[in-house]
Structure 1
Amino acid sequence: MGERAACADAKGTAGGPAGGGTGWVSLMPAVFVLLWSTGFIGAKFGLPYAEPLTFLLVRLTLVAAVLALAALVARAPWPRRPAEIGRIALAGLLVHGVYLSGVFIAISKGVSAGVTALIVGLQPLLTATLSGPLLGERVTGRQWAGLLLGLAGVALVVREKLSVTAASLGGMGFAVAALLGITFGTLYQKRHGGSMDLRSGAAIQYAATALVLAVVAPLVETMHIRWTGEFVFALLWLSGVLSIGAIFLLFALIRRGAAAKVASLFHLTPPVTAVVAWAMFDERLGVTALVGMAVVAAGVAMVNRR
């Protein structure tokens, strides 16, 4: 689907008619990046009190229940054909299950947020490489240059945090798995999930992922949770703001634009995460990181310029 055709799609973020005017649409990428970037912050708050898969199981079960109830109250359409339900569930397992599990496990095993962000930051390049043969989208030379420039900016932002210890090497594979999950999930959602209602569809995706985690988590974790104030805050933030707000925006952006262009927004995640961590945890934000943020912004502008 071409860019103009995608932008003319009549579906809005809730599955109904598109609304809110061009003002809201123009703000969607910035809001998405800001919300998505808080994921590492939420993990930093919550992971000391629960193992990663246990944390995700509670989070995704809560979100699935809320969205299912909202879809029922709003009388949102539900898919009826098993094949359609299966495609929706598979996209959810990739975007939510593989990506989130990979990030959380990597961080819990000692991989720094900077290294994890840099690995996941390869997603725009991988998406651009695959969007041509899988989706038939054309990635121009200027867009390739912008993607490479954005990756260079990501490397500058996290350069000071690229200290990988022997203890964290085992978690690197999970960070790579997260990269593959979000990449293939984005492409699969673009190809097969464009017509789904975002309320009922997201409920199916979260429920499917929670079911898989309910089987896997007891096999590899103790399932113990310390219900502290920090954990409850992280759970509610990641459930409401990330799993509902940011994911709805992501799927709406995928529906409206080319996959490679949407993927370029992920280049902005590590710089914005660094700013939030600096504001909340007084983490260092040096001149190199500031220069890297400017480079990232320039790269994203090159990819998205009409």
Structure 2
Amino acid sequence: MTLDRLAPAIFVLLWSTGWVMAKYAVIYADPLTFLVLRYALAGILFVVFCIVTGAQWPRSWKLAGHAIMSGVFLHGFYLGAVWWAVGQGVSAAISGIIAGLQPLMTAAVAPALLGERLSPMQKLGLVLGFIGIALAVLPKVLALDSATAIPAFPVLVNVIGMASVTYGTIYQKRHLQTGDIRTTAMLQYVGALIVTLPAAYLLEDMRVDWGIELFATLAWGVLGVSMGAVALLLYLIGRGQVSKAASLIYLVPPLAAVEAFLIFGEALTLPMITGTVIAVLGVYLTNRKAEPLAERA
């Protein structure tokens, strides 16, 4: 089987491991502190990557500023909120399912912010998507058994993170439709550090347990997700196969839940499974006529 066929699935698989990595990483470092290390290393490696591959740098400081600002929302506020929530007890499976809100939120606000119209089928998808997310998440939040209940506030922060990545997606669509995605990705990590470094300093002890486990997790976060997934996205863009990745992205929430079950033994309850299936169907219906992933990445 050729790379052309495997690349979209590998991209989605790499992306789905982010939630499992978040739960694993907090064992060895405070979540925001780990993200600071990850962003710094990814930014440095992207600088080298851009130089080696002859990437085009932004034509003006204004465009560079837009790239940095998109990183504030797409990485800084988004991953910062998600990782903090996981560190506060939100399971990797639930957090991954909440991730299904992002395309739904984007579609919901698109008519007001981008002038896009939703078809009746897309509106049905929105309703199904939000019902599915609620069905999957709320039983855990409202559980009477304190041993299995998830704190409501971290879940809310997780949802706010999805709102941030939704705004970041729209911001990038408005201001970064042109330019080299390689240098844009590098500058986005600069924006992420601008938010995450002071947040880690103010909210955490900046604990880091240096050891092989930390370095292995950091290597996967930087090379596997921050670099590997982006490199595959660049390949897909170049080969014109981004639509395949866009369709497979709907599998991220269930993949994250299954990975959390296999690695951490997190329970896959009937409401979670049913809600995820409904949410995936809703996301598919909502985005079946959406623009390709290349324009939203």
Contact 1:109 1:170 in 2 (8 A): no
Match of 2:40 in 1: 61
| Residue of structure 1 aligned with 2:85, choices 106, 110, 113 | 106
TM-score by length of 2: 0.79
Match of 2:186 in 1: 203
- Report the alpha carbon displacement of residue 157 of structure 1 after superposing the two structures with TM: 4.4
Contact 1:198 1:248 in 2 (8 A): no
Would you say 1:273 and 2:252 are equivalent positions?
Answer: no
CA 1:133–1:172 in structure 2 vs 1: closer, same or farther (change >3 Å)? same
Contact 2:23 2:91 in 1 (8 A): no
- Report the alpha carbon displacement of residue 276 of structure 1 after superposing the two structures with TM: 1.2
Match of 2:292 in 1: none
CA 1:90–1:123 in structure 2 vs 1: closer, same or farther (change >3 Å)? same
Which amino acid counterpart does residue 237 of structure 1 have in structure 2?
W
Match of 1:76 in 2: 55
Match of 1:130 in 2: 109
Would you say 1:230 and 2:209 are equivalent positions?
Answer: no
Contact 2:72 2:194 in 1 (8 A): no
**Deviations, residues 30-63 of structure 1 (Å, cap 9, x unaligned):** 4444322211100111111111221110000000
- Report the alpha carbon displacement of residue 248 of structure 1 after superposing the two structures with TM: 5.9
* Alpha-carbon separation, structure 2, partners of 1:36 and 1:185: 18
Contact 1:278 1:284 in 2 (8 A): yes
- Report the alpha carbon displacement of residue 148 of structure 1 after superposing the two structures with TM: 2.5
**Deviations, residues 181-228 of structure 1 (Å, cap 9, x unaligned):** 111011111221121211111111102322443334223322221023
Contact 1:35 1:242 in 2 (8 A): yes
Alignment length (residue pairs): 281
Match of 1:7 in 2: none
5+ residue gaps, structure 1 = 1-19
* Alpha-carbon separation, structure 1, partners of 2:139 and 2:27: 24
CA 1:287–1:112 in structure 2 vs 1: closer, same or farther (change >3 Å)? closer
Which stretch has the larger CA shift, 203-212 or 177-186?
Answer: 203-212
CA 1:120–1:253 in structure 2 vs 1: closer, same or farther (change >3 Å)? farther
Would you say 1:302 and 2:285 are equivalent positions?
Answer: yes
Contact 2:80 2:161 in 1 (8 A): yes
CA 1:178–1:248 in structure 2 vs 1: closer, same or farther (change >3 Å)? farther
* Alpha-carbon separation, structure 2, partners of 1:289 and 1:167: 14
CA 1:114–1:104 in structure 2 vs 1: closer, same or farther (change >3 Å)? same
Would you say 1:187 and 2:177 are equivalent positions?
Answer: no
Q: Could you tell me the percent identity over the aligned residues? A: 38
* Alpha-carbon separation, structure 2, partners of 1:120 and 1:297: 11
- Report the alpha carbon displacement of residue 159 of structure 1 after superposing the two structures with TM: 5.9
5+ residue gaps, structure 2 = 290-297
| Residue of structure 2 aligned with 1:86, choices 65, 74, 79 | 65
Contact 1:64 1:207 in 2 (8 A): yes
Contact 2:102 2:165 in 1 (8 A): yes
Which stretch has the larger CA shift, 248-257 or 87-96?
Answer: 248-257
- Report the alpha carbon displacement of residue 247 of structure 1 after superposing the two structures with TM: 4.8
* Alpha-carbon separation, structure 2, partners of 1:74 and 1:27: 20
- Report the alpha carbon displacement of residue 93 of structure 1 after superposing the two structures with TM: 0.7
Would you say 1:214 and 2:193 are equivalent positions?
Answer: no
Tell me the SS of whatever aligns to 1:48. Answer: coil
Which amino acid counterpart does residue 194 of structure 1 have in structure 2?
Q
- Report the alpha carbon displacement of residue 268 of structure 1 after superposing the two structures with TM: 3.8
Match of 1:150 in 2: 129
* Alpha-carbon separation, structure 2, partners of 1:248 and 1:194: 19
CA 1:111–1:246 in structure 2 vs 1: closer, same or farther (change >3 Å)? same
Would you say 1:38 and 2:21 are equivalent positions?
Answer: no
Contact 1:157 1:270 in 2 (8 A): no
* Alpha-carbon separation, structure 2, partners of 1:234 and 1:149: 36
Match of 1:15 in 2: none
CA 1:140–1:92 in structure 2 vs 1: closer, same or farther (change >3 Å)? same
CA 1:177–1:252 in structure 2 vs 1: closer, same or farther (change >3 Å)? farther
- Report the alpha carbon displacement of residue 153 of structure 1 after superposing the two structures with TM: 3.4
- Report the alpha carbon displacement of residue 275 of structure 1 after superposing the two structures with TM: 1.1
- Report the alpha carbon displacement of residue 249 of structure 1 after superposing the two structures with TM: 6.2
* Alpha-carbon separation, structure 2, partners of 1:32 and 1:153: 25
Contact 1:76 1:199 in 2 (8 A): yes
